[in-house]
Amino acid sequence: MAYHPRYALKDSVSEVARQLGVSRPTLRRFRARMTQGDV
């Protein structure tokens, strides 16, 4: 089973956001920024 590090990063971001209690619009904006531009 191939595991993509980017998915792991997204999972960890959502986990951290969940722990910190970040509002969903902020998380959505951050995720959109991540998926739009590959840095």
Alpha-carbon distance of 19 to 5, in angstroms, equals 21
With bands split at pLDDT 50, 70 and 90, how would you rate the model's confidence at 39? very low
Signed CA dihedral, 21, 23, 26, 28: sign only? positive
Q: What is the pLDDT of residues 20-37, one digit of tens each?
A: 776 667 777 877 877 775
